[in-house]
Chain A
Amino acid sequence: MNVLVTENIEKRFSNHLALDDVSIEVPQGSIYGLLGPNGAGKTTLIRIINQITAPDKGNVFINGEKLSSKHISKIGYLPEERGLYKKMKVGEQALYLCQLKGMSKTDALKSLKKWFEKFEIQSWWDKKVEELSKGMQQKIQFIITILHKPDILIFDEPFSGFDPINTNILKDEILELRKNGATIIFSTHNMASVEEICDHIALINKSKLILNGDINYIRNTYASDIFEINFDGYFNKLESTLTSDYSILEVSEHSNGGKMKVEVLNKEMKSNELLNRMTQFGTISLFKKHLPGMNDIFIKVVGETNSITE
């Protein structure tokens, strides 16, 4: 079941096309990474989903229904450029923003208190926002975003500005939200975090969707014939047996053996053959196909499409 579907979205700003025929499907309960270089059109797509702007063409569906103003309370949005009213008190402001999302005052107050306790920030309630550090403000904003228990959460660069400890807290919260049934769309340039928490991705470049799907599937698709091997045995004999058909890329040696990456050069040689040859000289404790990082895929795919269009 797809909780959010966009169909052939097109958006044009006077002289440039911001989104060109973008269709994505976000499965229920997934963490969906929205990737792309700066200026690719991610924010525009997010704004369309948030009904901040309307597409020129195409439709957005939430749970099969066409996007309308009643869906506002179903979506929580943490924009990349965040801000709060600087002169307003934290608690007052959080209440206001949650009420704008359609929560009743008593509900908002009750769950705000709960979250403030959870993050141990009750003492901030009567402080003005300008008295808080940037990281603290972001925490407040995170709470405001998720407070009305939306089905769909959209985080635009949620980790920027957080220290590693808070990044982890946030990550845990995001995973927790997913466990509780929310679907999370999250846009970031931090590929490590994409690999870590996303299960689906969409890659937008120059206003076009160039890649989307299950992250493991994508990584497998882009995998080359490289294997990660932990080997224990006669290392020096290994090299001579593997030559010409394979090449050893990286080796970190222990006393007798080590971790290595081996690329298959002769495409006719299956992985089993490699395994066969290696077991003659020692024992193997790990043998797995090397999957490319999202970083590599990103650079590769974006680079390719850029060279085509240029």
Chain B
Amino acid sequence: MNKIALIIKREYSTRVKKKSFIIMTIIGPLLFAAMMIAPVILMQLEDDEFKKIAIIDESGMFQESLKNTKYIEFDDVSAEYYDPATVSYNITLAKQKLKDSEYYALLYIPHTAVQGAKGSVVIYSYQQPNVGLKMHIANGIEKRIEDIKLSVKAGELGITEEEVNEILNVVNTNIEIVTSTLDEDGGEKESSTEVAMIIGYICGFLIYMFVFMYGSQVMRGVIEEKTSRIIEVIVSSVKPFQLMMGKIIGVALVGLTQFVLWVVLTIAIVAGAQSVLLKDYDTSKMNPQTVNLGSNLDENMPTPDEDAMKFEEIFKAVFAVNYFQIIALFLFYFIGGYLLYAAMFAMVGSAVDNETDTQQFMLPITIPLILGIIVMVSAINNPSGSLSYWFSIIPFTSPIVMMVRVPFGVPIIDLVISMTLLVLTFIFMTWFAAKIYRVGILMYGKKVNYKELWKWFRYKN
């Protein structure tokens, strides 16, 4: 037992001291934090430069529908460039003048725009106008065209525009589905499917990633011992099984360490960034003078109040999730899945002489893992379907697929079956792998195939 501890210690300390481990530990949380903070920063980066935009509106129907905002001001310059001689607007001249004018851009809306002709409306500018500006203009024009079409149609049908609007209001539905999970006591917990989906997805993917990353580290470790021939010295001191288990456990601890560090560092970075960024973010949300003002007639855009409500809803949903259960199960499937695959990786490592030879044996390992990821994606959409059910029971895919189901709530019986099977399989797999491992590590220069492995398995001692 003492010797296993020695092996675990070596496996752990040499790996944790590696540069690649330290770099990964730092870069990981930076990436995760960036993924979480980036949207907030992007919102902050909202164009706050004041822009004046000149409009040439041939039909004269649109300048009213283009509303000024805090940062955008529209100015109708149609009259300046009207040429009565040709009964048209001198766009060329307007473009020439744009350079030295106070205007950021020139918006040209030809007659044809009224019919909704595609590509007829043009913004001329010396800088690429941002998406927000384009959207704002497009929304304004679209709305106007719709109104025009509406009134034309209303005229045809002989009803008033108000009546049409009324009909539209009646027809317009916006359904938001709130899911509510019932717990054992029959109580009701509100939860949002989206939150469950995200948590499930993250958990499943993390398990997949860690199994692959650390499983192949076990394999590489075994190959290293074999090719460097240190194995013979070591197995004259300890049993091959002790060495294999020591390596598997040592690497598992490295994985857990990395995982914990990732979580802690990510939270620290996000919290740090929030305290700096979110203050401004919040005030801008409260401030009715922002972008929303410009489009306050646009029903598609949520008002700040609605937004706040939605946030509250999400927070409620986030906290309604049973974190204790998720974390406990995550750790279980994380460790169980890793142990199962690490034994297989160790077996492959022992059978080959170098990493390039691993290809043929990697297939049975990678296929169930990749299958797990594929099923996971569909399981997210239908967590209680029979596909999700079976793949969350089969031990080779259950660590990934079950973790997707867990946030949605899984019957206890499913969990028990799945967990029991996983434990039994990894015990069996470790036993099986150990039998092959102890022969494989001392076998050199042999082209190994599955038949050969089976022979090794049947060797006595």
Contacts and interface: CB of A to CB of B under 8 A. Distances in A.
A96 to B, nearest CB: 5
A83 interface: yes
Contact of B228 (A51, A83, A100, A144): A83
A75 B6 CA distance: 20
Given A77-B233, A79-B233, A144-B233, A100 B460 contact: no
A14 B458 CA distance: 9
B14 A100 contact: no
B316 interface: no
Contacts of B224: 85-86
Contacts of B459: 14
Contacts of B231: 83
A81 B455 CA distance: 25
Nearest to B460: A56
Interface string B2-14: 0100110010001
A82 B236 CA distance: 13
Given A97-B237, A101-B237, A85 B228 contact: yes
Contacts of A53: 442, 461
Contact of A75 (B3, B230, B236, B238): B236
Interface residues of B, number: 25
B449 to A, nearest CB: 14
A53 B10 CA distance: 25
Contact of B230 (A77, A83, A99): A83
A108 B228 CA distance: 23
A81 B231 CA distance: 10
Contact of B234 (A14, A56, A97): A97
Interface in A232-280: none
Contacts of B414: none
Dominant SS at the B interface? Answer: helix
A54 interface: yes
Contacts of B227: 83
B48 interface: no
Contacts of A51: 236
B460 A52 contact: no
Given A54-B461, A85-B224, A100 B234 contact: yes
Interface in A29-49: 47
Contacts of B236: 50-52, 72, 75, 77, 79
B177 to A, nearest CB: 55
A197 B413 CA distance: 71
A88 to B, nearest CB: 6
A79 B232 contact: yes
Given A47-B442, A99-B6, A81 B237 contact: no
B183 to A, nearest CB: 51
Contacts of B14: 85, 87-88
B229 interface: yes
Interface residues of A, number: 28
B123 interface: no
A84 interface: yes
B277 interface: no
B377 to A, nearest CB: 39
A14 B460 CA distance: 10
Nearest to B439: A53
A151 to B, nearest CB: 15
Interface in B214-251: 224-225, 227-238
A306 B413 CA distance: 68
A167 B257 CA distance: 46
A193 to B, nearest CB: 22
B237 A83 contact: no
Contacts of B234: 97, 100
B80 to A, nearest CB: 76
Interface string A132-145: 00000000010010
B29 to A, nearest CB: 26
Interface in A62-121: 72, 75, 77, 79, 81-88, 96-97, 99-102
Given A75-B236, A87-B14, A81 B6 contact: no
Contacts of B235: 50, 52
B229 A82 contact: yes
B229 A81 contact: yes
Given A56-B460, A82-B233, A85-B224, A96 B10 contact: yes
Contacts of A77: 232-233, 236
A84 B237 contact: no
Contacts of B3: 100
A79 B228 contact: no
Nearest to A79: B232
Contacts of B233: 77, 79, 82-83, 97, 141, 144
B228 A84 contact: yes
A175 B380 CA distance: 72
B7 to A, nearest CB: 8
Contact of A86 (B10, B228, B461): B228
Nearest to B238: A100
A93 B7 CA distance: 12
Residue among B6, B10, B459 with max Cβ neighbours from chain A (10 Å): B10
B230 A85 contact: yes
Given A72-B236, A100-B3, A101-B237, A83 B442 contact: no
18 contacts: A50-B235, A52-B236, A52-B442, A56-B460, A79-B229, A81-B232, A81-B444, A82-B229, A82-B230, A83-B227, A83-B231, A87-B14, A88-B14, A97-B234, A100-B3, A100-B234, A102-B237, A144-B233
Given A53-B461, A84-B228, A87-B14, 11 more contacts: A14-B455, A50-B236, A51-B236, A52-B442, A79-B229, A79-B232, A83-B231, A86-B224, A96-B6, A100-B234, A141-B233
Interface of A: 14, 47, 50-54, 56, 72, 75, 77, 79, 81-88, 96-97, 99-102, 141, 144
